[in-house]
Structure 1
Amino acid sequence: MLKQELNEQLTQVGPGTPMGDLLRHYWYPVAFVRELDEWPIKKVRLLAENFALWKRADGGYGIMQELCPHRRASLVYGVVEEEGLRCGYHGWLFDETGSCLDQPAEPADSTFSDRITAQAGKAEELGGMVWVYIGPDTEDNPAPELPKFDVYVDEGFKDVGHTVLPCNWLQIMENSVDPHHVEWLHGRYFKFLGEQQGFLAPPGFQKKHVKVGFDEMEWGILKRRVLEGNTEDADDWAVGHPLVFPYCMRVGGAGIEQMQIRVPIDDTHTWTLFYSSHQPPGFSDFPEQVYPVDYEFPWLDERGEHIVDYIEGQDIMAWVTQGDINDRTGEHLGKSDVGVIMLRRMFREQMALVAEGGRPTVGTTYEAHDRIGLPCEKDKFGVDYTEFAMSWLSGGSMRYSPAMDQMKKLYIEAATARGDSSWSVARADEFIAQSASEVARRKRLATGPARSGPREER
């Protein structure tokens, strides 16, 4: 168990807090490119602060404090001009660095604007999302480069499910270094649901963990496992997959390459995204996409109960039912929680570096680059490629994707290209119908949220 003081240090993300100061040294996705193309200004909330994000006239992006330094009106209701963002209330104009360029009602010879600066950060596009950096950026402490991880830049069909969860981001991240929950929450519990409701739970998740391992690495913590019936030669141990410090986890298998993203909105809300790049082995002719497919998936039913007949829904149940901020003073960790203990130690070490005026040494890069490849298993749980992909499509949040049929077709065509002619649309439909409660799935698709962008405040 933790003392209350340490629990607060680990979970509070606002400006001036130890964790908040650490987290401000990283880049975060806050919107989809699609959204800023549809309307060039958006309000976002990040690390307990509100900002105005806008698409500049030159095609780039800018982010600054939401409230205008003049009379504190919202810049979200401003005007995008060639030089920057102009406040709609009195016309003060700011460029992407936060410099005040114009104060229309002030005397022509006034130098007042030279003394006014808005808090501004950096903003860039990557993988169909707009990323921002709101931390220090000085000669002694420069902003890091935006890490161009493989999932975002490699060819593939991109699909992004997302939702806002009413809980602290850390309890989500701690789940990423807790491999044993897989065989119980996604294995035994999922099987129990299937037995009660008449569907077949994904078979790969029911295997017992024989051995787990964690290795610190430059991007975070590499997680490994040996499952019953497998050896250390299997990808699950020989390759593993990483928790990408401080707020992501890279997973994959059977051609589904995924980054699980947990953006801290504030202490009690987290924007959770499952960014998937579909790259089935044997397939290279990917459908053209102007933007990634993005959609908000449901995690509560019409009665306000957790939807737990899919993988991410089960995780969300475990995260959210811990409370908005998990009270770790009441927990009792065992030897199986070594990954959680390692992660907390890593956070404390990195917070200490920043508190001493330094920069974090894990999860950042200051080198220009085109791509960063992360280790990630391909052969997952020793299950057939196409069968595992179909299980993931039907048993995870991707079942709510408007591109579900298109993705299913990709994996069938890839199986044929590899010489496996046993898969067809009919067989895939039958497999999916058996693997999840099809009646419940169709009902929720009909009554769940429509395809939309992220909520206004993040």
Structure 2
Amino acid sequence: MNRRISDSDLVHTGPDTIGGQYMRRFWHPVYRSQDLPAGQAKPVRIMSTDFTLYRGETGTAHAVDFRCSHRKAQLSIGFIEGDCIRCFYHGWKFDAQGHTVERPGDVEHERPATRIRGYPTEEYLGLIFVYFGEGEPPPLPRFKEMEEPGILDAIVDELPCNFFFSLENDAVHFAFAHRDLLPERNLSGIPKVWAEESDWGVTMFDQWPNSNRIGIAQKGMPNVGYIVPTAILLAKGARHAFHVSWRVPVDDTKHVTFRANLLTVTGEEARQVLESRSPSYYDRSNLGKLGDAILAGEIRLSDIKDRTHIEHIQDYIAQVSQGDISMRQNEQLSPADICVVTFRRVWKRELQALADGHELKQWRLTEKVVPPLSTI
């Protein structure tokens, strides 16, 4: 048996870490589709490694290594030609699989075999997903409920804290971090919470003292959150709001949260919803600055008059304020942290199995996790 896996292994995702090796067995969103026009390339950093993301002239998104194999120039400053990318420095050209297509100036028979690595890429729910693991990728997970007609928003937020700080957000924090929002949601007190392992990860439950309903949040392994609307459990055919999110590490000190939100309204109702949104609904560029100003003591939450994104700002300061990942060594968890403890236990079990060379659990989003609407 290898060394014993601990909580500290969960927060490190570099290529040489056990957590990073596990994370690379899954698909991850890396960019919003609408932000990558055809014929453009972008540098992206995921799990402490740099990559080149580009959209070919055909409209297909591709991901390859960060640097040219020739003189190691950054490929994202190069030229897009068809579905290939040509290095800005000396013109070496690579296809989407990383094969060298052209090496200007070289004599044909003197060319040694050379290539960079290409990574499988798919687009779904307005996001670009990449598989960074070895071998054939697993199927990209699909969310049937998210494919219903309606208003789909893809949202991207970067937070300067470890991805696990966001992954471990639970219902108890709402009673305090979002306490000013409780009245409008007809909630009061502190919720009772519990959790259990599922076919997909961990199911987290909450019930507030003044409510008979049970809230359900699904945590999919390794870094996916899926909010199952209570309406699904209560009334077939009601308006539903679906929410799925991914917490993707940039490195061990910051991460990006990718969200896909679907409101299942169409026609005139959809038009009214879109018209009711304020201009600030789509502008999230200032949220991190506001959060940082609050943490620095320069402003207070109550100073923010536009409350369109107040819940996000509250989450931002709660998660970022937890500080460096080394501070987790001094945590004092309580019974109210049962959801956090359950999620960490599942994560550590899987990392231990990987370290020991044992079989890993195959996670599936089954009907036990999310019952189909037709059965409600």
Q: Normalising to structure 2: TM-score of the pair?
A: 0.81
Alpha carbons 2:14, 2:49 under 8 Å: kept: yes
DSSP-derived class of the 1:144 partner = coil
Could you say which residue in structure 2 is the equivalent of 1:375?
A: 370
**Which runs of structure 2 are paired with 1:261-340 in the superposition (5 Å)?**
261-279=246-264, 286=270, 295-297=283-285, 298-301=287-290, 304-306=293-295, 308=301, 310-325=310-325, 327-340=327-340
Residues 359, 300 of structure 1: alpha-carbon distance in 2 compared, 3 angstrom cutoff: farther
Counterpart in the other structure of 1:157: 151
Bigger RCO of structures 1 and 2 (CA < 8 A, at least 6 apart): 1
Q: What's the CA shift string for 1:158-203, capped at 9, x where partnerless?
A: 223332111000111111xx3222222222xx27xxxxxxxx9534
Aligned to 1:145: 139
- Cα contact 1:156–1:279 (8 A) shared by 2: yes
2:116 matches 1:124 = no
CA distance in 2 between counterparts of 1:155 and 1:358 reads: 42
Describe how 1:231-246 pairs up with structure 2 within 5 A: 231=212, 234-236=213-215, 240-246=216-222
**What SS class does the counterpart of residue 168 from structure 2 fall into?**
helix
| Structure 1 stretches of 4+ moved >6 Å | 282-285
Mapped to 2, the partners of 1:375 and 1:284 lie a distance apart of: 29
**Which of the numbers 196, 200, 210 marks the counterpart of 1:215?**
196
Say which SS state the counterpart of residue 225 (structure 2) adopts.
strand
- 1:230 and 2:230 matched: no
Opposite residue 300 of structure 1, the aligned amino acid is: K
Which residue identity lines up with residue 355 of structure 1 in the other structure? Answer: A
Q: Deviations over 1:402-449 (max 9, x none)?
A: xxxxxxxxxxxxxxxxxxxxxxxxxxxxxxxxxxxxxxxxxxxxxxxx
Moved more, 123-132 or 155-164: 155-164
1:381 is aligned to none
Looking at structure 1, the residues matched to 88 and 56 of structure 2 have their Cα atoms a distance apart, in angstroms, of 16
Write out per-residue CA displacement over residues 216-274 of structure 1, whole angstroms, 9 at most, x where no aligned residue. Answer: 1122111112222333xx352xxx22012221211254622112331111111111234
Per the alignment, in what secondary structure is the counterpart of residue 110 of structure 2? Answer: coil
Q: Secondary structure at the match of 1:50?
A: strand
Distance 1:71 1:302, change over 3 A: same
Cα distance, 1:124 vs structure 2 = 0.9
Q: 1:269 to 1:203 in 2, by over 3 A?
A: same
Displacement, 1:44?
Answer: 0.9
Asked if the contact 2:29–2:258 (Cα under 8 Å) also holds between the matched residues in 1, the reply is no
Q: How much has 1:285 moved relative to structure 2?
A: 6.4
The whole-number CA distance in structure 2 between the counterparts of 1:184 and 1:50 is: 38
Structure 2: distance between partners of 1:123 and 1:302 = 33
Instruction: Please tell me the residue identity of whatever aligns with 1:148.
Output: R
Task: Output one character per residue of 1:359-403: Cα deviation in whole Å (capped at 9) or x when no partner.
Answer: 7425468xxxxx99963899xxxxxxxxxxxxxxxxxxxxxxxxx
Matched with 2:278 is none
Matches within 5 A, 1:12-411: 12-37=12-37, 40-82=40-82, 84-112=84-112, 114=113, 116-137=114-135, 142-150=136-144, 152-175=146-169, 178-187=170-179, 190=180, 202-209=184-191, 211-231=192-212, 234-236=213-215, 240-253=216-229, 255-279=240-264, 286=270, 295-297=283-285, 298-301=287-290, 304-306=293-295, 308=301, 310-325=310-325, 327-357=327-357, 360-363=360-363, 375=370
Paired with 1:303 and 1:356, the residues of 2 have a C-alpha distance of 41
Closer/same/farther in 2, CA of residues 129 and 303 from structure 1, 3 Å limit: closer
1:377–1:126 CA distance, 2 compared to 1 (3 A)? closer
CA contact (8 A) 2:5 2:351 kept: no
TM-score (norm 1): 0.67
C-alpha RMSD of the superposition: 3.2
Superposition deviation, residue 214 in structure 1: 1.1
1:332-370 deviations in whole A, cap 9, x for unaligned?
A: 1111111111111111122123334567425468xxxxx
Quote the Cα distance in structure 1 between the aligned partners of 2:339 and 2:201: 11
Q: Is the 8 A contact 2:39 2:56 kept in 1?
A: no
Shift of 1:318: 1.2
**In 2 relative to 1, CA 32–263 (structure 1 residues): closer, same or farther, beyond 3 Å?**
same
Q: Shift of residue 71 of structure 1?
A: 0.4
Match of 2:234 in 1: none
Shift of 1:6: 3.1
